[in-house]
Amino acid sequence: MQTDGQPKAIIAFVHGFSDHCNSYYDLFPTLASYGVEIRALDQRGWGRSVTDTASRGRTGGTEVVMSDFHSFVTSIFDSVKSTSSSDRDASPSETPAVFIMGHSKGGAEVLYYALNSSLDLPPIAGVLAYSPLIALHPSTRPWNLTVFLGRIASKVLPSFQLVQPLNEYLMSRDKRICDEWRQDPLCHDTGTLEGIGGMLDRGAWLEGEQVGKDCKYKGPVWVCHGSADEINSYEASRSFVERLESDDKTFKSYEGAYHKLHGEPEGVKEALAKDVAEWILNRSEVPANHNAPALKL
């Protein structure tokens, strides 16, 4: 989602499980109205990247997921550098800062990428994760034995597909959002043993005591969660931020909100867009435009 004119900042965005980058309603255009450009893609195995049923959920393991995201992020830095080089009148302060952001599964991925990736990180200006899959909510969490057996099976049959239906009415307090998600053919609820195992392993690492220690990335981190989310654990997100060793870390709670904060009623979706824009622009040395148009849904 492009801005009118030169962007003040750019977000490399990662969607969630059984989701795609065109299902974020007015979040992206509202951020663009603040001067924050969004660049997003449908990850391997999701959305429009799926060409047939056999490719649903075939994300690969963590190494592949991180490599794919790294290629995406570095391509953004390359394009920013190319644009700045071609615009000789542009000053360094006018070059947009690049942030990484994700929702749910994608939220855990951007945190893991910044904090535990073996890849050479580009100079990202900040990391934002909302409703991240650090841990599943206790009501949806599989038994430990199931997880253990699944990890063993993933070594033998990594591409074996599993349909993992989520309760659509846990997505949002707005029934329209729930029904739209369930009826969207691009939200297929299908993962593989390898992909689901990697997703849970990345979350388990983020739950560990080692978070933030000896990491290459030492920059700002912003995490938010709805307190009534029954898909991913609110407490795991809050605890993660408490344990994170960072001089610039924020945990934002949206009281009573469900999983899809970008589709939540009662002013939550508007607050999310405003909070994200202000946090980013405060770290881009650019003032936020508080007269940005209201979010509509």
Question: Is 165 inside a domain boundary?
Answer: yes
Measured from the Cβ of residue 154, the count of other Cβ atoms closer than 10 Å reads: 20
CB 251 within 8 Å of CB 224: yes
Q: Express each pLDDT in 116-162 by its tens digit.
A: 988 999 999 999 999 999 999 998 776 464 566 667 777 778 888 98
Residue 73, domain CATH: 3.40.50.1820
Question: Is 88 inside a domain boundary?
Answer: yes
Give the number of domains in the chain.
Answer: 1
Q: Please give the distance of CA 242 from its chain centroid, rounded to a whole number.
A: 20
List, in sequence order, every residue forming a beta bridge with 249; answer none if it has no partner: 221
Q: Express each pLDDT in 22-79 by its tens digit.
A: 999 899 999 999 999 999 999 999 989 999 999 998 999 999 999 999 999 999 999 9
Residue 282, pLDDT score: 96
pLDDT exceeds cutoff 90 at 242: yes
The SS3 of residue 32 is helix
Residue appearing with tokens 């407490």: 235
CB 22 within 8 Å of CB 1: no
Residue 294, pLDDT score: 40
Domain range for 239 = 9-282
Question: Is 294 inside a domain boundary?
Answer: no
Alpha-carbon gap, residue 108 to 135, rounded angstroms: 9
Question: Is 220 inside a domain boundary?
Answer: yes
Dihedral sign from CA coordinates of 294, 275, 269, 100: positive
Alpha-carbon gap, residue 99 to 283, rounded angstroms: 10
Question: Is 1 inside a domain boundary?
Answer: no
Question: Is 94 inside a domain boundary?
Answer: yes
Gyration radius of the chain's alpha carbons: 18
Q: Give the closest residue to 169 by CA, choosing from 156, 178, 160.
A: 178
The SS3 of residue 1 is coil
Question: Is 119 inside a domain boundary?
Answer: yes
CB 129 within 8 Å of CB 246: no
Residue 1, pLDDT score: 59
Percent of the chain with pLDDT over 70: 88
Structure tokens at 106: 């994608």
Question: Is 271 inside a domain boundary?
Answer: yes
Structure tokens at 71: 């290629």
Alpha-carbon gap, residue 207 to 232, rounded angstroms: 13
CB 154 within 8 Å of CB 241: no
Residue 289, pLDDT score: 47
pLDDT-derived band at 291 (thresholds 50, 70, 90) equals very low
Alpha-carbon gap, residue 110 to 171, rounded angstroms: 21
CB 11 within 8 Å of CB 36: yes
